[in-house]
Every structure is written in structure tokens, then in C-alpha cells.
Chain A
Amino acid sequence: MDDKLILGGHEFTSRFILGSGKYNINLIKAAVEQGGAQIITLALRRANTQQSESILDHIPEGVTLLPNTSGARNADEAVRIARLSRAMGCEDFVKIEIMHDAKYLLPDNYETVKATKILADEGFVVLPYMYPDLNIARDLQSAGAAAVMPLAAPIGSNKGLATRDFIQILIDEIDLPIIVDAGIGKPSQACEAMEMGAAAVMANTAIATAGDVPAMAGAFRQAIEAGRTAYITGMGRVLARGGSASDPLTGFLR
């Protein structure tokens, strides 16, 4: 089956995007391998180090690095961080994270649209992290985003698809890959997001806080693949309640 995730012209067969910030870097390789991830995110501010053990040394060959602008408080700072990332030799992928909120780390949608426009115009493959709002998603699409990354729940919360209905609206209405980011706490939730039609799932804390990081990455891989297959196959109908009516309401029609 030729089912590829396409982001800004780049093709991926895995639909699992792995975060890297919250667990020991020597586990990254195993997590990438067992999770089958082809994209791994990295906060540029974390990469800004001479630390002898740099995350960069642990990322396997062939894996696409998705630098994020974590730490940016507005569009201007996000743009500066993205340009730094390019200067540091990262490719043109950038995940925009703009937080004006240190408590919940909720994205600032308004500033995110501004930064998306500037960076897309500069040729970046822009993946904006956002709060699932249809109007903003449309603006992001017009601004040149390569995908839209709505949050499922507050970052790190492992609370799952708290914004399910709003993410579904984005999936139904936006002609870009919808990548569910933040808040996914367990494989079943990742599976559900994929069944809904999400193009990919990104997870970090759920894996970082697991007893066995690589094994949990593997569990996510299976869940994401199962959800994707179910979505493509077309799931059987689900009845809201009751059984199938034996006497149709419209049976009187001639």
C-alpha cells in the first residue's frame, strides 16, 4: 500500500513523530528504532549547547530533524530562532511553537499565524503547533503552512483527545495534513486520533514517562499503524444506541 505522509514535498512512510526533550538522550536511538519514527523534534534552545553528549549525536542517520522554536514568546522571536536553526545547518523544516504562557504552554495562535507567513515566504517547511481553531487553521493554510499541528490536550498532561471534536473539524475542513500534537497519553489515544483521519501523531511525555521508553515507542508505532489502517479501510458503522430497527420509519412510503 502506497500510503505516504507528505510534508512540503518530503515523503515519509511513518506517521509517528517523536519528541526528544524529556528523556535520556541515550534512549533516543532505541526509541526511534522501535517507534519506527522518521521525524524527531528538537528544541533549538536545547541544541544550543557544546555539551559533550549532544542530542544530535544520538539521532540515527536518515531521520529528519524537526527543530522547534520553543522559548519564543512572539512571532519575531520564533522567526529569529528558525533562522538560527537554518544557520546551524538544520534543514528547512521548522515547527513553530510560540508560547506566551509558561504555565500550560498553550500556543499563541495569533502570533503563530504571523510567524508562519514570514517563514513560509522564506522557504521553510512550516509546521505550526496550534490550539484547534478552524479560522486559525484556515489562516495558517493561507499563510503557507505545510501541515497544522493542533493540540489534543495541554502539553505533558497525557490527558488524551480533550479537543477531539475540534480536531475532527480541522480534519474535515482543512486540505493539509493534520498532525495531532501534545497531550496524547497512551497508544489507544494515538490510535483514535488516526482513526479520526489525523495524518500523524506526535508524542513525547507519554513515552518519556513510561517505564521502558523504547518499548512504549514501539507500542505507539503499532497503535498509529492500526489507526491509520482502520481509517483508510473505512470503519464499520457505529450505532449511537439501540439495535437496527426492524420496522423502518419510512416503511409506509410507496
Chain B
Amino acid sequence: MTPVNEENKVYFIDSDELPPAALERKHALETDPSSRTNHMEYLPGMEVIDSDVKDIVLKAVSEYDYSSYTARDVELALSKDTCSVEDFKALLSPAAAPYLEQMARKAERITAEHFGNTVYIFTPIYIANYCQNYCVYCGFNCYNNIRRKRLSFEEIEHEMQVIAKTGMEEILMLTGESRKYSDVEYIGEAVKIAKKYFRNIGIEIYPVNTDEYRYLHECGVDYVTVFQETYNTDKYETLHLMGHKRVWPYRFDAQERALRAGMRGAGFSALLGLDDFRRDALATALHVYHLNRRYPHAELSLSCPRLRPIINNEKINPRDVGEKELCQVLCAYRIFLPFAGITVSSRESKEFRNGIAKICATKVSAGVSTGIGDHEEKYTGSQEDDAGDEQFEINDSRSFRNMYDDMERGGLQPVLNDYIYV
């Protein structure tokens, strides 16, 4: 295991509220690799599935030398009807930067072929922010001094009503990653409530076993999103210092377990800015590519979150992933995976989201809060004193109605639902 390097120090924030023993433990995790568990080893209770996708993806990424690609490789890739893995690698490389406009044009055409001019609108709802992990860049991490909350079922119902009243029909339900405070049954019951108000339900929770995904599917969930954060296992180890999330391979196989459990679709992403974004983008796309080959019926989608500031740490930023780099990654995703959904969240600005929706994004969030139980406050201005704090600071705070109108003004067709639970 690698010691924590200088680069990671930006993430470390000590709270005055932490008891000395906890602080000591935190510092040990941050500075002493031997105080941390083996991140490649499954914990008891974690299901191991028979799958070769991990090894294939890791091998491809380890062999990726993006500096070896030339303008000619990029031109060749852009001239083809079908984008191979090699072509995709060229499109992700620095050599493709001068071709951004051409990539965008090609991506726009491919998106129109597959999705027409539709753009889906959804909203996330965080129902709990308790977390048992220490992921150094995340506002929910267990050492971050924030107001914690887990919504009661009555509160969930109320939040759902507030959101549903806007007209929203698709919801993504999220929790902090705590099996203790937000167990699978709690999430299942919350999903059953959501089913009364929404037509399409996705979850973004801690990875679970196949039988648990099956249970959640029966409760009404059909889409499961799990962000791998970074596919560089060594880097991952230095960022996810404690908790079940530390186990990299169990997280990697989450989507495959979900699909085996009967879920209709799965979402994927690296958190761009944590590590080398070109490698992480390659790994994310190959993760999708190989699961598509094994589960051809599955509806797979990509997200592209960049690092954002969190409560108590304003310094966190997406480092070398500027908007141009992000756009390059997204266009490359579209050209390589024409069929995949692409979601662009409120981490990005209004201008970026308006623009990217015309090129390759197929889904945007609106009316977003990453806090717990504060939708009424956000939507109506009323005060909710006991709301839980946010996971990260959002950038685009447009309401559902404003987003709908802006998308329509951009020549796009906002779609609220394209799904039937059968």
C-alpha cells in the first residue's frame, strides 16, 4: 500500500468536535498505511461472483498509454462508422483535444440517431446521510462534522409529495453508505413509498448482494447506480481509508450483481479529478462495454461527476478536468457507446448542461438538493431546522420548471418518463 501523498492532504480536515481517540484513529488512517485494511479483500458477508470483467478492465487500463496516440489516430477514429476500443483510446487522448468540435458534431449525430432530441429529467432525493466510511473527499464521510439525519417514513412520504407536486416522475433515491443506519429493509420500504408518487425509481446506495438487489427490485427499483470513484485500485486505497466501501472489487461487481438480480439498468461512473481522468474514463467505458456484451438487454448509463467543494472543505476541486476535458470525455463516451444513457448532474453549471444536452447528454437532474429532508425549504422557502447537511455543493440549482423550459428552448424535448414497471 502506498503512503498518503502530498496531493491527498487537501482532503484532510479535522473537526474540533472529534474525541481525541477518534482523531488519533483518523490521523493513523491518513498517514500510516499499515493501519488500513487490504482494499482488495472481501469482507465477511460480501458475495463473490464469478466474473472476468474486472480483470479485463484493469488489464486494458494498465496498458493504456495515451501519449502514444497521434492526430492521425484521432482522424481515423472520427472517420469510422464503428468506434473500436483502440479508436476510443485515441479519442480520450490529448491528441484529440484539437478535434473537440468534430467530436461534438459526430456525437450530436449519433445521439440524434439513438435518442432523437429527447432529454430526460429526474431528481435525486437523499433519505439519509449517515455513513460508516472514511472517503476523504466526501461531505458525508464519518469524520466530517455535519448534521446527520435519516428520514422517517412519514418524512420520506412528505418529501416525495413535495417533489411529485412539481411534476417530476423519475426519482433517484440515495443514502449515505451505512448498512447500520440505512439498512436494506429501510431502503426497500422507502422505495415502496416512492412507488406511490413516481413512475421510475433508481437507487444509488451502498453496494449489496444479489439477493438484496432482487428484494429491492421487487420493491419497485429497476435502475442501480454505483460510482466506482476511481478505477486505479492503488489510488482508491489512499482515498477510501475505512469502511466497507474500501473494498474495491466488491464495488466493481455491484452493477453485475444488480443485473443478475433482474434490474433493468445500471449506472456507472468514476469521480473525475480523483485520479488520472483519461484512465478512469477508459475504465468506466470499458466497464459498460463488457457488461453490455454479457448482458445485452441491460440499459446502461454513464455519469461524469467532477469533484466539488464540500461542507468544511472549500478547497476540493476537479483539478485538471476542465470543462473542455469533460466535454472530450463525454463525446468520446457517446461515439464509443452510442446506446448508453449519459447523465449530467447539477455539479455542472447551467451553461455547461444546456450545451452538453445538445451534444450527447440524455438525462439531467433538476430541483436538486443533496441535503436530507430539505426539499420543501428549497422549493418553497419554508424553514426546516432539522434538515441533514449536504454531500457536496451543487452548481446548477435550477428548479424542475426552469430546467424543463430551458431544455425546450434549446430545441430539446423534455421527457419525464419512458418506462413501465413490468
Show the binding face of A for B, using Cβ within 8 Å.
Answer: 21-25, 43-46, 48-52, 71-73, 77, 80-81, 84, 99-104, 156-158, 204-205, 208-209
Contact = CB atoms under 8 A, between A and B. Distances in A.
Given A48-B417, A77-B422, A84-B420, 5 more contacts: A22-B115, A51-B416, A102-B292, A103-B338, A208-B117
Contact of B297 (A46, A81, A99, A208): A99
A23 B339 contact: no
A24 B413 contact: yes
9 contacts: A24-B408, A46-B415, A49-B199, A50-B169, A50-B416, A71-B422, A81-B420, A103-B339, A209-B112
Interface string B141-170: 000000000000000000000000001010
B114 interface: yes
Nearest to A70: B418
Contacts of B292: 102-103
B116 A22 contact: yes
Contacts of B167: 50-52
A22 B412 CA distance: 10
A102 B300 contact: yes
A128 to B, nearest CB: 18
B113 interface: yes
Interface string B394-419: 00000000000000100101011111
B356 interface: no
Contacts of B416: 49-51
Nearest to A48: B420
A158 B113 contact: yes
Contact of B116 (A48, A84, A209): A209
B161 to A, nearest CB: 14
Which of A23, A51, A80, A104: most chain B Cβ within 10 A? Answer: A51
Which of B298, B418, B422: most chain A Cβ within 10 A? Answer: B422
Interface string B299-321: 11000000000000000000000
Given A49-B199, A156-B114, A72 B422 contact: yes
The 6 A-B pairs with the shortest beta carbon distances in the complex, nearest first, are: A22-B116, A156-B113, A49-B417, A100-B297, A45-B420, A103-B339
Nearest to A19: B116
Contacts of A46: 415, 417-418
Interface of B: 112-118, 167, 169, 199, 292, 296-300, 338-339, 408, 411, 413, 415-420, 422
B229 to A, nearest CB: 25
Nearest to A21: B116
A23 B412 CA distance: 8
Contacts of B408: 24
Contacts of A158: 113
A22 B118 contact: yes
A208 B112 contact: yes
Contacts of B299: 102
Nearest to A73: B297
A81 B296 contact: no
B413 A45 contact: no
Contacts of B115: 22
Given A73-B297, A102-B292, A103-B292, A51 B422 contact: no
B148 to A, nearest CB: 35
Which of A72, A77, A209: most chain B Cβ within 10 A? Answer: A209
Contacts of A84: 420
A164 B299 CA distance: 30
Nearest to A27: B413
Contact of A102 (B118, B296, B417, B418): B296
Contacts of A99: 297
A73 B222 CA distance: 13
Nearest to B113: A156
Contact of A44 (B114, B300, B339, B420): B420
A103 B299 CA distance: 9
A50 B166 CA distance: 11
B169 A49 contact: yes
